[in-house]
């Protein structure tokens, strides 16, 4: 056969073909990384330690989308970066919302327990109130050789505390009001504490005119597993008059 009639081979890619050049784009590595971080970002709803994932993923996805937009078509991966961005924002928002709800519910339960505990002191059920403190759950410490026996029991020391004495003196008709939740710390899933400030206002007025002055107290309320307990329970970890050292 005459070589003049042989079909010539057509190259798979011709650098002079403008359409082929326009279709050749490199995939953005950062877009893939953003997608992978987005897929892992739901871990932040398990533990606050992983909150860095949606934050980092959102930052990388935004940067990647800007790079792709300014590459004039040379970079591909917009879909990967967009999916990663949506996953990171959704996971981060869900985690913040969940944490806010958990904090609100736990603070409300702490307030309920704090009110009940203060009510027991106001109504002079001080032995029950003492048993709901961490000190009240501890067994007596054994005396070391040569040590003198303590002059007062832990309960007697509890009754000498200025906060306890002030709350008892407020009277059984005193009103208890939550002023603010000062702090909330979750050390683990089953161990967390809430610090709250309460106002206690005596309702009866004396001739001195100062019986209705509110008493400001700060309680640190902790919910955890304690010695011999099978379930979580609230205890008073610390208590004080506002402006004084905790006890």
pLDDT in tens, 128-148: 999 999 888 877 666 666 666
Q: Are 225 and 183 in contact (CB under 8 A)?
A: no
Distance of alpha carbon 159 from alpha carbon 27, whole angstroms? 72
pLDDT for position 241: 93
Alpha helices in 48-124 (DSSP H): 52-69, 78-122
pLDDT for position 142: 67
Q: Are 215 and 200 in contact (CB under 8 A)?
A: yes
- Candidates 238, 135, 136; CA nearest to 196 is 238
Distance of alpha carbon 234 from alpha carbon 132, whole angstroms? 8
- Candidates 39, 221, 21; CA nearest to 118 is 221
Helix (H) or strand (E) holding 194: strand 191-201
pLDDT for position 59: 94
- Give pTM, 2 decimals: 0.68
Q: pLDDT by residue (tens digit) across 195-238?
A: 999 999 987 644 444 456 789 999 999 998 776 667 888 999 99
Residue whose tokens read 């000498």: 160
CA distances from 17 to 23, 30, 77, 95 (A): 10, 29, 24, 51
Residues of the chain with pLDDT under 50: 1, 3-5, 8-10, 12-22, 205-210
Provide the terminal-to-terminal Cα distance of the chain, rounded to the nearest Å: 107
């Amino acid at each position: 056969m005459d070589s003049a009639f042989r079909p010539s081979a057509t190259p798979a890619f011709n650098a002079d073909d403008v359409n082929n050049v326009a279709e050749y784009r490199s995939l953005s590595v950062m877009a893939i990384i953003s997608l992978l971080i987005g897929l892992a970002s739901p871990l932040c709803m398990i533990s606050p330690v992983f909150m860095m994932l949606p934050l980092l993923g959102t930052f990388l996805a935004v940067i990647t989308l800007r790079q792709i937009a300014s590459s004039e078509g040379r970079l591909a991966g917009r879909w990967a970066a967009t999916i990663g961005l949506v996953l990171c924002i959704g996971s981060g928002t869900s985690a913040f919302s969940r944490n806010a709800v958990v904090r609100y519910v736990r603070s409300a339960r702490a307030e309920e327990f704090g009110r009940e505990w203060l009510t027991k002191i106001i109504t002079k059920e001080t032995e029950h109130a003492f048993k709901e403190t961490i000190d009240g759950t501890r067994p007596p410490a054994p005396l070391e050789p040569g040590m003198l026996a303590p002059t007062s029991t832990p309960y007697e020391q509890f009754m000498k505390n200025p906060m306890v004495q002030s709350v008892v003196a407020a009277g059984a008709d005193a009103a208890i009001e939550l002023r603010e939740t000062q702090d909330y710390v979750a050390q683990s899933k089953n161990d967390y504490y809430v610090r709250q400030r309460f106002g206690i206002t005596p309702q009866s007025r004396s001739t001195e005119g100062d019986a209705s002055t509110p008493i400001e107290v700060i309680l640190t309320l902790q919910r955890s597993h304690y010695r011999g307990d099978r379930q979580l329970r609230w205890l008073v970890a610390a208590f004080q008059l506002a402006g004084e050292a905790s006890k």
